[in-house]
Structure 1
Amino acid sequence: MQQKETLLTLIKKLKESTGWKDKSDKEFEDFSQELIGRIIEEDLVDESLEFLEGLDVDKDWKSLEARMTKTKVKKLYPKRILKYAAIFVGVVSLGIGFVWIGNQNNDAILSGMDGEYVTLDTGSDRTLIESHGSHAVTLPSGETVAVHNGDTLIYGSNEEIKDFVYNELNIPNGKMFTLVLSDGTKIYLNSGTRIKFPVKFPENGRREVLVYGEAYFDVTKDENRPFVVNSKEVAIEVLGTQFNLSSYDDQNEVATVLVEGSVSLSHAENGKDGILLKPGEKGAWNRGKGIIEVEEVDVSLHTGWVNGEVVFRNAPFTELLASLERTYNVKIENTNDSIIGQTFSARFNRNVEKIEDVLEALRIITPFEYEVVDGKKGKKKDVKIK
């Protein structure tokens, strides 16, 4: 009860400091009660209190007013309370251009929307992996090398395997997947990602995998066998650590964010420009400049996708659309030139929000019209932004 009263007090304080002060008491009361009820229902009380108490309302609202004056954008308020978990959109994010929607589920690593199957290429055949199925992965010789269960594929130590065999896992748009390698290394794979890896690592030498897309690595420590992740432009070498690699073709950089431990980052072709990253740093190969750039970052912004979160911080609209296409397995056509040059900050959860929910929330920041057309069976949805 005390937490509920504290939440209400903080939200009322925000009302007095923001554009909501012009709304009717009843309208604000209805919104507050539904918002608080949803926060409690989704078990987000502690997180919400921390978020609200940490806001600099005056600073954020002044920033909004300055931006509105400069761009001559009319203030917009939601015509209805969003029925999905749109936390703080109506109170805070109306003004400062930051949307935080969804329940941040730290336990579930779930598939996204329905779409194509995850596929496993063993060299001898290609297997479709169903989210609700399970089966054993075998070599042509008959040995079982891995077991698939739901959205996870686990390889055994495979000590009896003599041949050096590679498998390739493809994660389509709209899906997420977890892979455990023969050495125990755990890899979370994001939508639109491909990874090539050996069924068994060599007893001596380097443990190497090849990745296109985005993956979060929790590498099993082995001082005698460095772990190397290769992409088109970058090679990352570690002994045992946690880091995120993002190397989608439609991005301007190949980015590595270190969570703990240490990694050495170098150009894949010449091995030069080797840079040692510290926890909390992002090392990025700038495709345009042809150099590696290092900066300190908020790690959670780059790793939240493992738990279903999709986060944007001052992201160009084109980059945001490309990410939504991967996340929800949709095709987006934008004919609204007025928003192409704008940037967006947003946070949502693919396990909770549908593509329609995300578009509704983004419309609060910048007005636009959209239409979602359901594809035929097995086909992508089409989204048209006007």
Structure 2
Amino acid sequence: MDRQEIFELVRKYNRGRCTPEEEALLETWYVNKTELYHTELSEPEIESALQEVYASLPNPVKKMRLWTRIAVAAAAVAAIVFGVWFYTNEIASALKTHRNDVAYKNDIAPGKSTAILTLANGKSFSLSEAKAGVIVGEDKLTYNDNTPVVNERPLLNSQDDGKNTEMKLSTPRGGTYQITLSDGTKVWLNSATSLTYTMARNSKGERRVKLEGEAYFEVARDKRHPFIVSSNKQEVKVLGTHFNISSYTDDPNAKTTLLEGSVDVNGQILEPNQLAVNHNGKINVWPADIESAMAWKRDEFSFNDEELGSIMKKIARWYDVEVYYEDPQMASAKFWGTISRFKNISDVLRMLEKTNKVQFKLEGRRIMVTK
């Protein structure tokens, strides 16, 4: 049987609609082990999977024939395999993980719109959590709905020499915010990110910003005045385009993903749907996974053959937690899947646990990763 046939049979079984012949097919699949599951289950594992699915069925009978027990185990195995993709479906719902809720008794809510704006005079203030973004005007700051933030001349005067017009927008762990610069460029900041911006162009006529963390840019086109993003060990030069840069200090790679237009990354020209990976100053260009790169802006976690170490860094930044590993080698395990970033942390961790590759224990703002 191929994957789709197994999927359909397991779904029918969980609805109680399998014929004896179809149940026999599941038995055959389990005995011969298809390409979906290559490891022989031990007797305790079979019994555990059997009892988990059996307990979830409505009005289960007290006695089961041997071939039915095998079919149930097969259904459990198939559901575990499909659970790797984390999608909410009837197979996943039939395999609810009955973990001890104590592991998540102190749940953590997702991040929110929050940021701190620091002006050139050193004055800092928190931006409204009820707003999603701020607009930099030539002489004022407003939120996206045009309500005022601050109005301090000449700090926001574009005719200044540039020394007193610098401002810094910073999001904490668990925060995002959006800023529209005075030239019309829009920037979305992911969590634990800062963007330093000077309104006045430099002596070369360049529009320059400094980035630490991750941000998505929609740069206003201006052929006479290039837009340059300076981040860890690289400069990205553009005229007008859409791209994403991930350049966290705890990540050895700075990643630039181009959606449209063109950019120059340390002399390497990117075309749309390309990814530049900067490792210690060396640039490698690969086809970009746009869905995964832009998932955070869609308020999602999206993993495509991604290592657990990378995944947990994203989770740590968004939920403001610390992550520890029982065995450091576990960080190299790879996962696939998509889930909303608006979920509590327990929902995200439980989804990962359904792969049976990893377990978590949440204590305060500390996550322990175990096998």
- The question of a shared fold, defined as TM-score above 0.5 by the shorter chain, is answered with yes
Which residue, out of 95, 98, 106, partners 2:85?
98
Q: How does 1:190-229 map to 2 (within 5 A)?
A: 190-201=190-201, 205-229=205-229
Could you say which residue in structure 2 is the equivalent of 1:285? 278
Could you say which residue in structure 1 is the equivalent of 2:171? 171
CA distance in 1, matches of 2:303, 2:132: 35
Asked if the contact 1:209–1:229 (Cα under 8 Å) also holds between the matched residues in 2, the reply is yes
- The 1:284/1:99 distance shift into structure 2, 3 A limit, reads same
CA distance in 1, matches of 2:203, 2:78: 57
1:337 Cα deviation after fit: 5.4
Alpha-carbon displacement from aligned partner over 1:12-63 (angstroms, at most 9, x marks no partner)? x97742496398443689xxxxxxxxxxxxxxxxxxxxxxxxxxxxxxx955
TM-score between both structures, scaled by the size of structure 1: 0.67
CA distance in 1, matches of 2:148, 2:347: 31
1:148 Cα deviation after fit: 3.0
Partner SS, residue 340 of structure 1: helix
Where does structure 2 lack aligned partners over 5 or more consecutive residues? Answer: 19-32, 57-76, 90-108
Could you say which residue in structure 1 is the equivalent of 2:6? 17
Could you say which residue in structure 2 is the equivalent of 1:26? 15
CA distance in 2, matches of 1:311, 1:21: 26
- The 1:260/1:22 distance shift into structure 2, 3 A limit, reads closer
- The 1:226/1:98 distance shift into structure 2, 3 A limit, reads same
Q: CA RMSD in A?
A: 4.1
1:257 Cα deviation after fit: 0.8
Amino acid at match of 1:21: V
Alpha-carbon displacement from aligned partner over 1:115-161 (angstroms, at most 9, x marks no partner)? 8952111022011123126999999xxx84311358x99999x6654
Asked if the contact 1:182–1:201 (Cα under 8 Å) also holds between the matched residues in 2, the reply is no
1:183 Cα deviation after fit: 0.4
Could you say which residue in structure 2 is the equivalent of 1:355? 345
Partner SS, residue 178 of structure 2: strand
Could you say which residue in structure 1 is the equivalent of 2:234? 234
Which residue, out of 297, 317, 323, partners 2:288?
297
CA distance in 1, matches of 2:255, 2:293: 9
CA distance in 1, matches of 2:133, 2:315: 31
CA distance in 2, matches of 1:221, 1:300: 25
Could you say which residue in structure 2 is the equivalent of 1:245? 245
Alpha-carbon displacement from aligned partner over 1:71-95 (angstroms, at most 9, x marks no partner)? xx968697699xxxxxxxx987733
TM-score between both structures, scaled by the size of structure 2: 0.69
Alpha-carbon displacement from aligned partner over 1:258-291 (angstroms, at most 9, x marks no partner)? 100011110xxxxxxx11111011111123xx41
CA distance in 2, matches of 1:21, 1:252: 43
1:313 Cα deviation after fit: 1.7
Matched, 1:122 2:109: no
Q: How does 1:1-386 map to 2 (within 5 A)?
A: 16-18=5-7, 21=10, 24-26=13-15, 63-66=35-38, 68=39, 94-95=81-82, 97-100=84-87, 113=110, 117-124=114-121, 125-132=123-130, 144-148=139-143, 161-164=159-162, 165-201=165-201, 205-266=205-266, 274-287=267-280, 290-336=281-327, 339-351=330-342, 353-373=343-363, 375=364, 381-386=365-370
1:199 Cα deviation after fit: 3.3
- The 1:343/1:194 distance shift into structure 2, 3 A limit, reads same
Identical aligned residues as a percent: 24
Amino acid at match of 2:117: L
**Number of residue pairs the alignment of both structures matches:** 305
Amino acid at match of 1:382: R
Where does structure 1 lack aligned partners over 5 or more consecutive residues? Answer: 1-12, 30-60, 82-89, 103-111, 267-273, 376-380
Partner SS, residue 222 of structure 1: coil
CA distance in 2, matches of 1:364, 1:282: 31
Could you say which residue in structure 2 is the equivalent of 1:46? none
1:195 Cα deviation after fit: 0.8
CA radius of gyration, larger in: 2
